[in-house]
Amino acid sequence: MNLEYVKAEKINLSDYYDEKWIQDKIEEDPSLIGLGDLEIVKRERRQSTGGRIDFLLHDPEIETMYEVEIQLGPTNESHIIRTIEYCDIEKRRFPNKDHKAVIIAEDITSRFFNVISIMNKSIPVIAIQLNAIKIENKICLVFTKVLDIFEEPEDEVDLGGETVDRRYWENHSNPKSITLMDKMIAISKEMYENPKVTYNKHHVALGTLRRNYAWFRPRVREGYCQFDVRLGRNNIDKTKKSLEEIGLPFSLRRDDTLAISIQTPVFEENKEFIKKLFLDACEMAK
């Protein structure tokens, strides 16, 4: 079936609507923001500091709460600080759940990334850019996740003692996330014939006979995997630059190791880069 072409125009939402209108649309369908099938705990939840958080959302599948703030126009420092503050307050209210601060704005500025990069070792932050598209007399909202700094992974040395089997991870992860991990391990087999794969309770370790160089955590979210990769100090800076160009979320684990979050479509688009990543890591571990 042929689709009819219609010219679209990107517009500034603030010229037509206010933040309350955006809240209404998200309340009608929280899945709009692209974080899954979330439940609304409270809209405009009052905080002890006197402010109100736009939304407190909950993902019961992974026991994670999202503290969401919306801003028309560009992000600014006060918006960032307010969102993180609200996230910290809710974390103290619900200490048994994971928490992520979510910033939704029309313009995620370079200043935002500079501020967040300073704090990304301790504060999980998701940034979502909101684009408004006008088609004739109708409007579409497009939410695009441009940053996802996940929780700091546990130290692989501290967790290295408890061994499990593959079935454990199959029972605790999404099958497509397991498949994504397997694809990355398969890439490593092209460079090292008999890689050592060890299933531990907190990660799946990959290495040579001498030492491990990658640690995977396939997640409950479909087609999503977090992993650490030890690249050596000499490779860190150039790899960080490449990851920034691709737009792949990462954080510095140690001075020789990066923690990376990846989804299946991004892996497929950047397979050669991922292959080079593991090649460097494997060479360091031989």
**pLDDT tens series, the chain, 286 aa:** 678 887 888 888 888 888 899 999 999 999 899 888 888 999 988 887 778 889 999 987 777 889 999 988 777 778 888 888 888 888 888 887 888 899 998 887 766 766 666 665 556 788 888 888 988 888 999 888 877 654 444 444 444 457 889 999 999 899 999 999 999 999 888 777 778 899 988 889 998 877 889 999 998 888 889 898 998 888 888 888 888 888 787 877 767 888 888 889 989 999 999 998 988 888 877 6
Domains, the chain, in order of start with CATH, read 8-149 (3.40.1350.10), 166-285 (3.90.1150.20)
Phi and psi of 170, rounded to 5°? -65, -30
Instruction: List Cα–Cα distances, 235 to 145, 204, 240, 241, 242, in angstroms.
Output: 27, 23, 9, 10, 11
- How does strand 257-263 pair with strand 250-254? antiparallel
Contact 64, 98 (CB under 8 A): yes
Residue 272 to residue 122: CA distance in whole angstroms: 31
User: Which spans in the chain are helix H?
Assistant: 19-28, 77-93, 110-119, 166-172, 175-189, 233-246, 264-269, 271-285
Residue 211 to residue 198: CA distance in whole angstroms: 12
**To which H or E segment does residue 102 belong?**
strand 98-107
Contact 101, 84 (CB under 8 A): yes
From the CB of residue 200, how many other CB atoms can be counted at a distance below 10 Å?
17
Of 198, 229, 204, which is closest to residue 219 (Cα–Cα)?
204
How many angstroms separate the first and last alpha carbons of the chain? 54
Residue 235 to residue 111: CA distance in whole angstroms: 26
Contact 41, 165 (CB under 8 A): no
pLDDT at 123: 66
For the chain, the C-alpha Rg in angstroms (whole number) is 21
Q: Which residues pair with 59 in a beta bridge?
A: 64
Q: Which residues pair with 285 in a beta bridge?
A: none
